[in-house]
Amino acid sequence: MNAMNVVPLQVTAAATLATVILALWAGSGGGVRSAVRSAILLVDRATTGLAAALACLALTVAVVAGMWQVIARFATETPSVWSEALVRTALVWMAFLGVAVALRAGALVSIDVAHRYTSGALRRALEAAALAGSLTILGIMFWFGWDMALRVKFQEMAGLEVSMSWGYAAIPIGAVFAMVGVVAQFLDHRHEELETAV
């Protein structure tokens, strides 16, 4: 494995370890720890709310563009050249922004049974392992998503005539929103899927 492939993994592992340690530190105790925890949760409220609003907007754009495609194709018999690409791009953005909301709700990388039947230090260790796993995946998504967005910046999306970077940018931007959400989930548990599970 050459150095180019190892660097993203090393940086991601170091950042994940530092973030998990910070989250464990901020999650227990008062004073400065409580202030750091409150600051992270404040940032989370803003970013997760923004991610949810943007994901809903992206879904609305996809629905409107999809309806236009159907109307243009069957009612006017002049298919639109831009609507299919816009639907695809909007759905990609919706999915990557929606991941932040799902992680904040505790709906992904959830270990329901282990969470239900453990307590104390063992439960906290499982939650820390889930946080580390999520952050590692999101860090890799950010790194390689950013790289891909830079690589395709001179290519244009067919039909939209805008840089393909606009589509690929959903990966690193969604990963950043999701990182904030997963850390906030660790600090302020919301296992909403546990209440609705059968």
* Domain positions in the chain: 11-190
Residues 103-136 have pLDDT tens digits of: 898 876 556 667 777 788 888 888 888 899 999 9
| pLDDT for position 51 | 97
State the first-to-last Cα distance of the chain, in angstroms, to the nearest integer.
Answer: 45
Q: What is the pLDDT of residue 174?
A: 96
- The 10s digit of each residue's pLDDT in 131-150 is 999 999 999 999 999 999 99
* Mean pLDDT calculated for residue range 153-177: 91
Question: Whole-angstrom Cα distance, residue 163 to residue 113?
Answer: 45
Q: Is residue 64 classed exposed, middle or buried when 0-12, 13-18 and 19+ CB atoms within 10 A define those classes?
A: middle
- Which residues lie closer than 8 Å to 89 by C-beta, 6 or more apart? 157, 160, 166, 167, 170
Tokens read off for 88: 């695809």
What share of the chain in percent tops pLDDT 70? 90
Largest Cα–Cα distance of the chain, in whole Å?
67
CB 93 within 8 A of CB 55: yes
Helix (H, G, I), strand (E, B) or coil at 190: coil
pLDDT tens for 3-28 read: 567 888 888 999 999 999 999 898 88
Asked whether residue 74 carries a pLDDT value surpassing 90, the answer given is no
Question: What is the pLDDT averaged over residues 46-50?
Answer: 96
The answer to whether 19 and 183 have CB atoms below 8 angstroms apart is: yes
For 94, counting Cβ atoms within 10 Å of its Cβ (0-12 exposed, 13-18 middle, 19+ buried), the class is: buried
Across 153-181, average pLDDT: 92
- Any idea what DSSP says for residue 28? S
